[in-house]
Amino acid sequence: MSNQVGIQYLPICHHYELSVVIGKGHSGSSSIFLAKHLPTASLIAIKKINVEVWDRELSYIQNEIILTQQLSHPNILQLHCSFVKGHELWIVMPLMAFGSCRDLIHAYFNSGLPEQAILFILRDVLLAVEYIHQRGIIHRGIKASHVLISKNGQVCLTGLHNSYNTIQNGKKLRKVHDFPIHSVDCLQSFSPELLHQNLAGYNFKSDIYSIGILICELANGQSPFSDMPATQMLLEKLNGTKPKLADSTTVGDFIIDDDGNDDQPGTTQERADVIFFKRTFSQNLHEFTSECLELDVVKRPSATQLLNHSVFKSIKNRPSSSLPSLLQPVTPLTDLAKVPRDLSAEEDDFTRKMSEVSMQEDWTF
């Protein structure tokens, strides 16, 4: 019932005091609250799910909780405890004070994060992915809003509600044909082979493609393929279109034609201007991203192989605690006294009031 040394988080409702909504999910049927653990006065996050709205999918939520509790890794968000209060399921989690990477993009880094910050985030995400792959789990939902950052710079992967366990009846499946039933918000991150749904199926390398999309989202401030219908996105992916990092070396791929269309399908926004093209990402990061987005699954590297890539040399001996300084001027949410007390306020209204972090995306475990 506790994942933090020295603190016990018990499934007792009156041990927790809700403050404000810092995120929403499940089509509005769940909310993430900033809260206080009264016995220790420590700040936490609580996810409340309306089980009446989610009655048909209750087993789906239960399986997610069970899976998360079975995993133990510093880069996977742990759950303290969960319990039912009336028609609501309460899930008590650590507070990730910088919010998600998508929050950071909304708050300040509209044109993308600096390369050093991306590398710290990427290293921790890969460690989490390597861990779950070793345990037979395909994540199937890696994206910026599922990557959370603590006040100390610890990066945690969340969003396991779309995951799939390849170990069935004691045997590990070599290929999977299952399609996530709750996946509309993850389609842009899905690999071509997962979207194709053919007899070849997909495997753990599908997550590696999603990591390539994540890098583009972190670097460019917008997820690739976000400006096109799902059918066009599928065609672009199956044809091998590789999104790129927008910088001075790729300016030719982002030229807007006379009709206002981006010449490179599936990449960032139409504002292909000097904000992007005065910067230059390292050749290592460009190559790393391209390898992740390789159409040929056999040629796509594993998480373990990527962790040994030369792109990480510049941060090899640097701890995750170096990350917060790279996220300035954004500051973590650590002081409850600075938070507005209006629980009825809409999420966007709360976002406008907050000076620390913008919570505009689903904040899920």
CATH classification at residue 145: 1.10.510.10
Instruction: Find the mean pLDDT for residues 52-61.
Output: 70
Report the half-sphere exposure of 7 (CA within 13 A, side-chain side): 17
Asked if residue 302 and residue 239 are part of one domain, the reply reads: yes
What are 251-259's contacts with CB under 8 Å, separation 24+? 251/276, 251/277
* Residue 65, φ and ψ in degrees, nearest 5: -65, -45
Classify residue 347: in a domain, yes or no. no
Classify residue 336: in a domain, yes or no. no
Identify the pLDDT of residue 277. Answer: 79
Identify the pLDDT of residue 135. Answer: 96
115-134 and 205-220 are packed helices; what angle lies between their axes, rounded to 10 degrees? 160
Largest Cα separation within the chain, whole Å, is 63
**How many structural domains comprise the chain?**
2
Q: Which residue has the tokens 């973590």?
A: 332
- Residue 18: give its domain's CATH number: 3.30.200.20
Lowest mean pLDDT of 49-58, 86-95, 353-362, name the range.
353-362
Q: Is the pLDDT higher at 364 or at 322?
A: 322
The pLDDT of residue 52 is above 50: yes
Q: Are 47 and 31 in contact (CB under 8 A)?
A: yes
Identify the pLDDT of residue 264. Answer: 52
Asked if residue 185 and residue 62 are part of one domain, the reply reads: no
pTM of the model: 0.87
Domain boundaries, position 13? 1-95
The pLDDT of residue 363 is above 50: no
Write down the mean pLDDT value for the chain: 85
CA distance 62 to 347: 26
Asked if residue 121 and residue 52 are part of one domain, the reply reads: no
- Among 95, 126, 142, identify where a domain stops: 95
pLDDT band with cut points at 50, 70 and 90 for residue 328: very high
One-letter amino acid of 220: N
Asked if residue 105 and residue 25 are part of one domain, the reply reads: no
Asked if residue 30 and residue 111 are part of one domain, the reply reads: no
Question: Residues 235-267: pLDDT tens digits?
Answer: 999 988 899 999 999 887 776 544 545 545 444
Q: Which two tokens stand for residue 291?
A: 């390898």
pLDDT band with cut points at 50, 70 and 90 for residue 55: low
Identify the pLDDT of residue 37. Answer: 96
The pLDDT of residue 24 is above 90: no
Asked if residue 139 and residue 88 are part of one domain, the reply reads: no
Question: Residues 181-219: pLDDT tens digits?
Answer: 777 778 889 999 999 988 999 999 999 999 999 999 999
Q: Are 91 and 82 in contact (CB under 8 A)?
A: yes
Asked if residue 266 and residue 186 are part of one domain, the reply reads: yes
Question: Residues 264-309: pLDDT tens digits?
Answer: 544 444 444 567 778 999 999 999 999 999 999 999 999 999 999 9
Question: What is the DSSP track for 159-211?
Answer: -GGG-EE-EETTEE-SSB----SS-GGGGGGS-HHHHH--TT-B-THHHHHHH
Instruction: Find the mean pLDDT for residues 106-125.
Output: 96
Q: Are 30 and 49 in contact (CB under 8 A)?
A: yes
* Residue 87, φ and ψ in degrees, nearest 5: -100, 20
CA distance 117 to 38: 34
Determine what percent of the chain is predicted with pLDDT higher than 90: 61
| Helix/strand number for the chain, H first, E second | 11, 12
Distances (CA, A) of 226 to 19, 63, 74, 233, 355: 33, 30, 31, 8, 28
pLDDT band with cut points at 50, 70 and 90 for residue 1: low
* Residue 35, φ and ψ in degrees, nearest 5: -145, 165
